[in-house]
Structure 1
Amino acid sequence: MNNTHYNKLKTIIIPYLPDDVLVEEITPKSHLINELNINSANLVDIILDVEDEFGIRLENEDMEQLETVDDALRIIDEKLTRA
């Protein structure tokens, strides 16, 4: 796992966490919706922020695979490797 990417992604996710979820609860295995309680509107915002931060474009098939923090990191790494 790329720690730099993980830390950037975590920084992107933090503002969208609901009040009942602590920052410490974010781990690579965290499910964005089921565990971190990110709603679908905020998930879209996170995706847009990821695209801006990493200079990548996420396609619909990428979004369909996006369930956990690890999934996001894998997709980011794949996109950056292809760039």
Structure 2
Amino acid sequence: MDREATLEQLKNIIRPYVQDQIAFDSLSEETDFINDLKINSANLVDVILDIEEKFDIMIDNESMKQMINAKEAIVIIESELSKK
């Protein structure tokens, strides 16, 4: 799976949790989930669970802490998928 496809799938996962639609419309790899998209920390856990389910991966606690923006999420997703 290429990076653009991963980003598109990630956008579909986070869409229901976004509180700032304008920021979501211009989402890039640098978009911060909490500061830009206004996703609260409880919903961020839901995003991570949805990512695990969608990609059939397990994300450890250390990786969860690093998953603050789209770029880090993609790196973690790709890393976990490469272990399969």
Same fold flag (TM > 0.5): yes
Partner amino acid, structure 2, of 1:4: A
Superposed CA offset, 1:2-49 (max 9, x none): 11111000000111011x433313211101111111101110110000
Q: Do the aligned partners of 1:29 and 1:70 also contact (CA within 8 Å) in 2?
A: yes
- Which TM-score applies when normalising by structure 2? 0.91
Instruction: Flag structure 2 segments of 5+ consecutive residues without an equivalent.
Output: none
How many angstroms apart in 1 are the aligned matches of 2:83 and 2:76? 11
2:11 is equivalent to residue 10 of structure 1: yes
Q: Which residue of 1 aligns with 2:40?
A: 39
* Segments ≥4 residues shifted beyond 6 Å: none
Partner amino acid, structure 2, of 1:56: I
Q: Do the aligned partners of 1:25 and 1:36 also contact (CA within 8 Å) in 2?
A: no
What's the % identity of the aligned pairs?
39
Q: Which residue of 2 aligns with 1:50?
A: 51
- Which TM-score applies when normalising by structure 1? 0.92
